[in-house]
């Protein structure tokens, strides 16, 4: 056995490394502290390796590379992953540091880092103007930066009045670049959730709460 291991080690040392394949899952977990995340959100691979981004459930996610090594001359971006199992595969050849996020969940902190070979040093990466590109692809107007409150509509999925949380399948929210998503929101203490139930059509206001979060500051039935 020892001899076999040694032989294998020698083979690895003398033959070029085979390209490896990795998977990063796009996860929505309403019980997690951060509801939308990449798993893993940090990964180191070698040049020539392939990464598949795969949706773990039927919630929409979309991978966009926002910062890449200067030698990369194309936009690395997946189509919208609407369904469980939707995936996007890319082979990384240029060494350095790559940062990516999920476009719909950008403002909710769904992001990750990929190192190919060795990390980039300061000044060796460039930002990708993905918002301009997304605008082109969607053929619409760029959404205004969401500095303040945002009006939204949707349908109630379920309510936990005691915890002050409500799960809503919201309509597209242009101001945040959000497609239809089912999301768990916390309501401010002044919002009484006890009168809402599954299936209610609602209008509500989202208020920025910290870097990656929004709370419901007002709500009414339609």
Per CB under 5 A, 36 contacts Cu ion: yes
Q: Which CB, 64 or 191, lies closer to Cu ion?
A: 64
Q: How far is CA 20 from CA 7, 69, 73, 93, in A?
A: 21, 20, 23, 12
Per CB under 5 A, 170 contacts Cu ion: no
The residue length of the chain stands at 222
Q: Which CB, 69 or 104, lies closer to Cu ion?
A: 104
Residue 135 token pair:
């605008």
In the complex, what is the shortest distance from the CB of residue 27 to Cu ion, in angstroms, rounded to a whole number? 9
Per CB under 5 A, 61 contacts Cu ion: yes
Q: Give CA–CA dist 39/23, Å, rounded.
A: 9
Binding mask 84-123 for Cu ion (x = CB under 5 A): ------------------x--x----x-------------
Q: Give CA–CA dist 66/101, Å, rounded.
A: 7
Give every strand in the sheet of 63-69, ordered side by side. Answer: 42-45, 111-116, 96-102, 63-69, 125-127
Q: Which CB, 63 or 159, lies closer to Cu ion?
A: 63
Interacting residues toward Cu ion by CB under 5 A: 36, 61, 102, 105, 110
């Amino acid at each position: 056995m020892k001899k076999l291991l040694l032989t294998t080690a020698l083979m690895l040392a003398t033959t070029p490394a085979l390209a490896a394949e990795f998977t990063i899952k796009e996860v929505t977990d309403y019980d997690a502290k951060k509801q939308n995340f990449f798993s893993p959100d940090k990964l180191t691979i070698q040049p020539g390796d392939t990464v598949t981004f795969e949706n773990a459930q039927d919630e929409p996610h979309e991978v966009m590379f926002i910062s890449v090594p200067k030698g990369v001359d194309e936009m690395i971006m997946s189509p919208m992953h609407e369904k469980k199992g939707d995936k996007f595969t890319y082979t990384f050849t240029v060494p350095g540091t790559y940062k990516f996020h999920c476009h719909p969940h950008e403002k909710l902190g769904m992001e990750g880092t990929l190192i190919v070979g060795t990390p980039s040093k300061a000044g060796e990466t460039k930002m990708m103007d993905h918002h301009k590109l997304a605008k082109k692809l969607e053929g619409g107007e760029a959404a205004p930066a969401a500095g303040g409150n945002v009006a939204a509509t949707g349908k109630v999925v379920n309510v936990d009045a005691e915890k002050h949380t409500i799960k809503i399948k919201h309509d597209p929210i242009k101001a945040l670049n959000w497609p239809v998503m089912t999301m768990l929101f916390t309501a401010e203490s002044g919002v009484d959730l006890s009168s809402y139930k599954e299936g209610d059509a609602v209008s509500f206001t989202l208020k920025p709460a910290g870097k990656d979060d929004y709370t419901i500051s007002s709500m009414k039935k339609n």
